[in-house]
Structures are given as C-alpha cells and as structure tokens.
Structure 1
Amino acid sequence: MARVSQEHLDARRRQILDGAARCFARNGFHATSMQDVLTEVGLSAGAVYRYFSGKEELIAAIAAEAFTAIRGAFTDASKATPPPTPDVLLGAVLRLVLEERIPGADRQAFARLILQVWSETLRDEALYETLASGFHGMRVLWAELVEVYRETGLMTADVDADRMARTLIATAQGFIAQQALFGDVDVETIQDGLRGLMSMETQSPS
C-alpha cells in the first residue's frame, strides 16, 4: 500500500481549513454544521475527521494559523532597516488577516466571524487559551518593535512599550469590529487615520 506523502497531507489539511473558514464566514459559526463543511470541501466525513474532531478544533486551528502568520509579519518587520511605521505594518497585518488568509472569503463576513470567535472564548476554555496566547504574543511583538523604533530614532515618546502595544492591538480590533458591523471601512482608511494621528506634535505648556 503506497504511503501518503506529507505534502499531500498538508494540502488536504489546507483544503479543509480554507473550506471551513469560508463556511463559517458565510453562515456564522453556530449556523454552520460539520455537514456544511464536508459539502464545501467535497470530502467524506472520514477524510475530514482524520484531521479535526469538530467545529471547535477547526476554529481553533484557523485562529492559531492566523497568529502564526501575523508573527511572521512582525518578525520580518523587525529585521527591516528602517522598520515599517505602525500605520504601514498595521495595514499589512489587517490585509493578511482579512483579505489574504482565506481565498474567496468575503471581508465583512470574515470580520463577523472573528467577532464570533471572540465571543466563543467566553464559553470555550480551549479557544480562550488559543486567543489569550496569541494576544500575549502580539503584545510582546509590538513592544519589541516599539524598542526598535526607539533605537532607530523613529519614536521618541517615553511611553511604556506594552501600553503602546495594547493601544495598537486595540486599533486593529476596533477596525475589525467596524468592518464586521458596518462593512464600510477599508484598510487604507485606518492607515491614513493612524498616520494623521502620528503626525501630531506635542507642545510644551507655556
């Protein structure tokens, strides 16, 4: 019996994750059944359950994969000279999450899925741990990048790096919430707004 190559296994897992993400984005997490996922990916139950035990494991894998991709973007940014400014980096990360990760998924629908995932953390401890770990990782990465900004002279404000990291993460979360609720905001809007705020000069009181 011929052995299945790792490349084939990885491609099949990718097929399942992308199909599940499209289903969840289109119909919502709770309204999507595993049968919907099977139909979307065109595979048998046995083929899918070989990789994932159910919807919860699928959504956790999608979230973990997104964080892995974001960490890669930050790692690349920290190595660049000079590093991309926060508005540029935040825009790249948001495009990665909302536009590039899941081929064929509607941007607003996928933003709504992210909000559903956040709400699921209130009742699903395993999913909470996945997102909490990702959130902590983002704080560390942003804080490290803030230090790089300071070292290269791009940032002079003496504000705690973790506080700045939390603020930048909150900006991304707020954008995702706006996109999910209203669908009338694009990444360029957030980039332009952040760049405008970054241009403000602090004046010493006379």
Structure 2
Amino acid sequence: MARVSQEHLDARRRQILDGAARLFARNGFHATSMQDVLKEVDLSAGAVYRYFTGKDELIAAIVKEVLGEIRAAFADVTRQSPPPPPDILVGLVLGRTLRVWPSLNGDGEPLFPRLMLQVWAETVRSDELAAVLADVYTELRERWVLAVEAYQEAGMMRSDASADHAARTMIAAVQGFIAQQALFGAAPVEVLQDGLRALMSMPDTPERSQLG
C-alpha cells in the first residue's frame, strides 16, 4: 500500500475542520451531528474518525485554532514599540482574524464572527471551554495593558488613565464589533476604525472632568 504523504493528511484534516466550521457557524454546535459533518465534507466515517474521535474533539480543535489565531494576530502587530495607534492596532488584529475561516456560503461574508458567537455561547455549557477562553482573555488583556503602557510612555495616551481600563475597553470594542458582524451582517473593519478615531478626537471639557 502506498504511503500517504503528510501534505495529504494535513489537507484532509483542513477539509474536515473547514466543513465542520461552516456547519457549526450556520447551525450551532448542538444542532450539528457527526453525520452532518460527514455529508458536508463528503467523506466516509472512517476517514473522518481517523482525525477526530467525535464532535467534542472537533469543537475543541476549532476553538483552539480560532483562539490561537487571535493570539498570533495580536502578537504580530505589537512587536514594534510603541505599537500602532489603537485604531490601527484594532483594525490589523480584527482584519486578520476575520480572514481565518472561509466564507459561509461562498459569498465572501467572513465565517469567523458567527463561529466566535457559537464559541462564546458554548462556554455556558462547557466548564472546560470556559476555562480555556478565560485563560486566553487573561493573556490578551495583559498584552493589551502592555500596549497601553507603551502608548503612555510614548506620550500617545494620557499617563493618568488606567491602562487596564483602556485595555478592557479596546477588547470590548473588538468583541462588540464581532457580535455585530455575526448578528447583523458583515461590515468593513474601517467602520470600527473610523468610530474609534472619532471617539479619540473628543477634547477634554469641564463637563467631562466633573464626570471623571
């Protein structure tokens, strides 16, 4: 029997992951069965189970890849010191993560937002997944804090502002934009960037000082 190449094995695993991701994003984790996955990827049960023992392992692999891409995207764009301004930084990270998965229906609409929404929902059911997501959030929050501190040291951001609060807000902006994409349809990353620039341009006023 001819030996199967590693390239073939990797391509087959990629085929299964992409097909499962499309189904999970479209129908959710619980409404998708392994039979649905077999039909979507047009493979036999033996071919699929060679790579994944079941749906839970498929979910775990997809979640690991999604979260790993977020980590890698942020690490890549924060290597310079100081990092790009917040609006540029958020756009670079979000733009890269939106390109992780192929479109849902071949129409160019990114699959990532709907898939990410399913991951967030699944953490309510799975303590193990919730712990993984919490670890990633903690790591990313620490990285964003370092980015904010670099902005402050470079004079790009007020030094008396809480770095942690600014980091949480930038994370929330990204999460909210992903949720909007999943719920209400695709929008260019420039929408978020323009909005952040508008908010960043607001001058200090006596009223804001009193509220602060």
Say yes or no: TM over 0.5.
Answer: yes
Separation in 1 of the partners of 2:16 and 2:191?
Answer: 33
> What are the ranges of 5 or more consecutive residues in structure 1 without an aligned counterpart?
none
Residue from 140, 143, 146 that aligns with 2:145: 143
**1:86-131 superposed Cα distances (whole Å, 9 cap, x missing partner):** 2122122223333x11113254765233222212111112221221
User: Does the 8 Å contact 1:111/1:177 carry over to 2?
Assistant: yes
Superposition pairs of residues 153-164 of structure 1, within 5 angstroms:
153-164=155-166
Letter in structure 2 aligned against 1:20: A
**Counterpart position of 1:74:** 74
Higher mean alpha-carbon deviation, 174-183 vs 191-200, is at: 174-183
Separation in 2 of the partners of 1:61 and 1:94?
Answer: 21
Aligned length: 205
RCO higher in 1 or 2 (8 Å CA, sep ≥ 6)?
1
Tell me whether 1:21 sits opposite 2:15 in the alignment: no
Separation in 2 of the partners of 1:86 and 1:53?
Answer: 42
> What are the ranges of 5 or more consecutive residues in structure 2 without an aligned counterpart?
none
Q: Note the C-alpha offset of 1:197.
A: 0.8
**Counterpart position of 1:123:** 125
Question: TM-score, normalised on structure 1?
Answer: 0.85
Letter in structure 2 aligned against 1:83: P
Of all paired residues, the percent bearing the same amino acid is: 61
Separation in 2 of the partners of 1:71 and 1:110?
Answer: 15
**Counterpart position of 2:12:** 12
Separation in 2 of the partners of 1:148 and 1:179?
Answer: 30
**1:116-157 superposed Cα distances (whole Å, 9 cap, x missing partner):** 221211111222122112211211221121122223332234
**Counterpart position of 1:101:** 100
Letter in structure 2 aligned against 1:102: W
Question: TM-score, normalised on structure 2?
Answer: 0.83
User: Does the 8 Å contact 2:141/2:168 carry over to 1?
Assistant: yes
Cα separation, partners in 2 of 1:197 and 1:108, compared to 1, 3 Å? same
